C-alpha cells in the first residue's frame, strides 16, 4: 500500500480484511439458516459495554463486529429470503458502494461530487425510459419509498396550492385553502405517514373502498371538487395488485386533481415486457415513488421520486445559501429533503449498468414466474392462495389463523427459507415475495418442498 495514506499502511490492510470478511459472509450465505438464531441474538449483549474511555485498534473492532454482528443478521442477501418485499444486492452495487464509501463524498453538492451529479442525471434519464414515464420528469434520489412518497407529495402540495394562489413553502399550511386527499383503503402505511408529515393529516384523508385484490374501486371514487390529491398504488404490499389507473387518472385530471402513484416495487413491472400491462394507465399520473433497494437490488437505503413537472419538485425542495453555488450540472440537493447525503446515484447506476434493459426485464420476469411456481406448488399441496398472482407476491393460507401462524413460525425456524405473516382482508396468511436476483428456480423448488413438508408435519 502506498505510504502517505491517512492512517498509513494499516488502512489498506484494514480494508482488505473487511473485503475478506465480506467475501466469507457472502460465500456462506446459502449454507446457513436464513433466520437469525436466538443464540446469536443473545450474544449481542456482549456489545452492551460502558462507553469506551480510550481508542481501540480498527482491526480489533472489525473482528468484533464480524464475530458478533455477522451471525446476528438475517440472510436477506441470500437466495431464499422471501419476507416483506426486500430484494438482495447485485454484486456490482455492493462493490460500487464500497468504493463510494472510500470517496466519502457529499453527494448533494455538484461542485464537491460531480460524479454523483452526473450519475443521478444519467439514472434519471435511464429510469424514466425503462419505466415508461415522461422523459422531462424531475427525480429525487432519497432513502426509500417512504421518503420518495414524501418528496413527490411535497411537490404535489406545492403545485396544488400554487394553483390555488397559495405559496405553501413561504406561508405554511395555516390559513391555506384546504386540499382534499383521496387514497385507497389499502394504501401503504408509508404513504399515510408521508401525508401526515406534510400536514395533510393521517386521518382526514378520504379512503376509497377496495375490491378483493385490494384495488381501489374506480366506481367508488368520490366526486372531486376543488384542490385535490389522489394517491394510487402500483403493487399492493400484500397481493401485488395494481389500482385501475387509467380510469382514475382520467376522472382526477378532468377535475384538475394531482395524481400520485406509490409504486415501491410495482413500478418495475413496466421494465418487463410481459408484465408491463399491469402498469397500463399509470404513466398518466403526475408523480411516482419507487424503491431501488427492493426490486432493483441495490443496497440500503435507496428510493426515487419522479415528478412530471420538475419545477414542482424543486419548488418544494430548493434551498439557497450564499455558500451553495449553482453549477451547470444537476444540483442533487435541490431535489431532495436532505442537503448532505450519500452519493446515491452510484449504486443505482451500477445496478442499471450491470443489468441493462434485458437483464432488468429478465430479473423482474423471472421473479414473477417464480412467484407463480410457488402459488402452483402450494395449491397442488392443498393450500389456499388468497391473491391473483400476477406479479411477485403470493399470499397463502394454511388453514385457520392459528394453524397458519404456527406453520409460518415453523418454516422460519427450520431455516431453509424465510417468509413473514400478514393479515390481509381479514385472513391471517403467509406472504411470499420473490424479489432477488439471487433466487434460482432450484431455490424455489427447495423452499416449496420445505414449506409443504413443514406444513404437513405441523398439521399432523
Ligand atoms: C416498501 C413499501 C413502501 C415503503 O418503502 P420504504 O423503502 O420501506 O420506505 C411504500 N409502499 C409500498 C407499496 C411498499 O411496498
**9: pLDDT strictly greater than 80:** no
Distance, in Å, from the CA atom of 36 to the CA atom of 70, rounded to the nearest integer, reads 10
H or E element, residue 305: strand 303-307
Assess contact for 47 and 71: CB atoms under 8 A: no
Q: Is the pLDDT of residue 285 over 50?
A: yes
Residues contacting residue 195 through CB under 8 Å, at least 6 positions apart: 153, 181, 183, 201, 202, 205, 231
Model confidence at 261, pLDDT cuts 50, 70, 90, reads: very high
pLDDT tens-digit series, residues 413-443: 999 999 999 999 999 999 999 999 999 999 9
* CA-proximal residue: ligand 1, atom 5 (nearest): 145
Q: What is the 3-state secondary structure (H, E, C) of 186-236?
A: CCCHHHHHHHHHCCCCCCCCEEECECCCCCECHHHCCCCCCCEEEEEEECC
> Using one digit for the tens of pLDDT, what is the confidence trace for 140-184?
999 999 999 999 999 999 999 999 999 999 999 999 999 999 999
**Per-residue pLDDT tens for 63-115?**
999 999 999 999 999 999 999 999 999 999 999 999 999 999 999 999 999 99
Taking 80 as the threshold, does the pLDDT of residue 61 lie above it? yes
What totals of helices (H) and strands (E) does the chain contain, helices first? 13, 11
Instruction: Give the number of the atom of ligand 1 that is nearest the alpha carbon of residue 265.
Output: 15
pLDDT digits over 341-359, tens only? 999 999 999 999 999 999 9
Distance CA 131, CA 262 (A): 14
Whole-number Å distance between alpha carbons of 440 and 410: 23
Residue of the CA atom closest to atom 2 of ligand 1: 264
Query: Is the omega angle on the peptide bond into residue 301 within 30 degrees of 0, that is, cis?
Result: yes
Diameter of the chain by CA atoms?
A: 72
pLDDT band at 325 (very low <50, low <70, confident <90, very high): confident
At residue 324 the predicted structure's pLDDT band, cuts being 50, 70 and 90, is: confident
Count of CB atoms situated within 10 Å of the CB of 317: 23
CA within 13 Å, CB half, 233: 27
* Closest atom, ligand 1, to C-alpha of 147: 9
pLDDT above 90 covers a percentage of the chain that reads 95
To which H or E segment does residue 139 belong? strand 138-142
Name every protein residue with a CB atom under 6 angstroms from any ligand 1 atom. Answer: 85, 144-146, 188, 190, 235, 237, 262, 264-265, 291, 303
Sign of torsion, CA 430 434 438 443? Answer: positive
Nearest by Cα to 122 from 351, 362, 436, 359: 351
Lowest mean pLDDT among 287-291, 294-298, 325-329: 325-329
pLDDT > 90? residue 7: no
Q: What average pLDDT score do residues 303-308 get? A: 98
Residue 110 CA to ligand 1 center (angstroms) comes to 28
Average pLDDT value over all residues in the chain = 96
Inter-residue contact 377 to 389 (CB < 8 Å): no
Top pLDDT among 5 and 429 is at 429
End-to-end C-alpha distance for the chain, whole angstroms: 62
* CA dist 323 → 216, 315, 366 (Å): 47, 20, 48
Tell me the CA–centroid distance for residue 393 and ligand 1, in Å. Answer: 14
Tell me which long-range contacts 59-65 makes (C-beta under 8 A, separation of at least 24).
59/10, 59/13, 59/14, 59/17, 62/14, 62/17, 62/18, 62/21
Q: Does residue 135 surpass a pLDDT of 60?
A: yes
Distance 177 CA to ligand 1 centre (A): 30
Q: Give the three cell numbers for residue 26.
A: 457472502
pLDDT value of position 4: 55
pLDDT given for residue 460 in this prediction: 85
Q: Using the mean position of ligand 1's atoms as its centre, give its distance from the Cα of residue 316 in Å.
A: 22
Gap between the Cα atoms of 181 and 228, Å rounded = 6
Ligand 1 atom 12, closest CA:
264
Contacts of 437 (CB under 8 A, 6+ apart): 88, 90, 297, 363
Residue 35: all three cell numbers together: 433466520
d(CA 113, CA 120): 11
Give the full edge-to-edge strand order of the sheet including 228-233. 138-142, 303-307, 287-291, 258-262, 228-233, 180-184, 206-208
* Measured distance CA(391)–CA(236) in Å, rounded: 10
pLDDT exceeds 50 at position 1: no
Cell readout for 52 is 469506551
Band of residue 319 on the pLDDT scale cut at 50, 70, 90:
confident
Residue 67: predicted pLDDT: 98
For residue 3, pLDDT beyond 60: no
326 band by pLDDT with thresholds 50, 70 and 90: confident
- Percentages helix, strand, coil for the chain, rounded to the nearest 5? 45, 15, 40
CB atoms within 10 A of CB 169: 15
| Distance of CA 301 from the midpoint of ligand 1 (Å) | 12
C-alpha of residue 288 to centroid of ligand 1, in Å: 12
Amino acid at each position: 500500500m502506498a505510504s502517505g495514506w491517512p492512517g498509513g499502511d494499516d488502512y489498506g490492510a484494514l480494508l482488505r480484511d473487511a473485503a475478506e470478511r465480506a467475501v466469507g459472509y457472502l460465500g456462506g450465505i446459502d449454507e446457513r439458516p436464513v433466520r437469525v438464531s436466538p443464540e446469536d441474538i443473545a450474544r449481542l449483549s456482549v456489545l452492551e459495554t460502558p462507553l469506551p474511555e480510550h481508542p481501540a485498534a480498527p482491526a480489533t473492532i472489525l473482528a468484533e463486529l464480524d464475530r458478533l454482528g455477522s451471525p446476528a443478521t438475517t440472510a436477506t442477501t441470500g437466495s431464499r429470503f422471501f419476507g416483506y418485499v426486500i430484494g438482495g444486492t447485485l454484486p456490482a452495487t455492493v462493490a460500487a458502494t464500497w468504493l463510494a464509501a472510500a470517496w466519502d463524498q457529499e453527494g448533494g453538492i455538484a461542485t464537491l461530487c460531480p460524479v454523483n451529479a452526473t450519475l443521478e442525471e444519467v439514472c434519471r434519464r435511464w429510469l424514466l425510459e425503462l419505466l415508461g414515464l415522461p422523459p422531462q420528469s424531475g427525480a429525487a434520489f432519497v432513502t426509500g419509498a417512504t421518503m420518495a412518497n414524501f418528496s413527490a407529495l411535497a411537490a404535489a402540495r406545492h403545485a396544488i396550492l400554487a394553483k390555488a394562489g397559495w405559496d405553501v413553502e413561504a406561508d405554511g399550511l395555516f390559513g391555506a385553502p384546504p386540499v382534499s386527499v383521496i387514497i385507497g383503503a389499502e394504501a401503504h402505511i408509508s404513504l399515510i405517514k408521508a401525508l401526515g408529515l406534510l400536514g395533510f393529516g393521517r386521518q382526514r384523508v378520504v379512503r376509497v373502498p377496495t375490491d378483493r385484490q385490494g384495488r381501489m374501486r374506480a366506481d367508488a371514487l368520490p366526486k372531486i371538487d376543488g384542490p385535490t390529491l389522489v394517491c394510487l398504488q402500483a403493487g399492493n404490499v400484500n397481493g401485488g395488485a395494481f389500482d385501475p389507473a387509467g380510469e382514475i387518472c382520467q376522472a382526477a385530471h378532468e377535475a384538475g386533481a394531482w395524481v400520485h402513484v406509490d409504486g415501491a416495487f410495482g413500478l418495475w413491472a413496466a421494465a418487463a415486457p410481459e408484465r408491463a400491462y399491469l402498469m397500463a394507465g399509470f404513466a398518466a399520473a403526475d408523480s411516482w415513488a419507487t424503491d431501488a433497494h427492493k426490486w432493483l437490488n441495490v443496497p440500503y437505503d435507496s428510493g426515487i421520486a419522479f415528478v412530471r413537472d420538475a419545477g414542482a419538485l424543486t419548488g418544494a425542495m430548493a434551498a439557497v445559501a450564499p455558500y451553495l453555488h449553482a453549477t451547470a450540472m444537476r444540483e442533487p440537493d435541490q431535489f431532495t429533503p436532505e442537503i448532505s447525503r450519500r452519493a446515491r446515484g452510484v449504486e443505482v447506476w451500477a445496478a442499471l449498468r450491470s443489468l441493462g434493459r434485458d437483464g432488468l426485464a429478465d430479473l423482474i420476469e423471472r421473479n414473477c414466474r417464480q412467484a407463480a411456481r410457488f402459488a402452483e406448488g402450494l395449491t397442488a399441496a392443498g393450500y389456499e392462495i388468497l391473491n391473483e398472482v400476477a406479479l411477485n407476491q403470493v399470499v397463502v393460507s394454511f388453514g385457520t389463523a392459528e394453524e397458519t401462524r404456527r406453520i409460518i413460525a415453523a418454516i422460519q425456524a427450520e431455516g431453509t427459507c424465510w417468509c413473514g405473516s400478514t393479515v390481509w382482508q381479514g385472513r391471517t396468511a403467509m406472504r411470499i415475495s420473490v424479489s432477488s436476483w439471487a433466487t434460482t428456480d432450484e431455490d424455489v423448488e427447495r423452499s416449496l418442498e420445505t414449506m409443504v413438508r413443514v406444513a404437513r408435519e405441523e398439521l399432523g
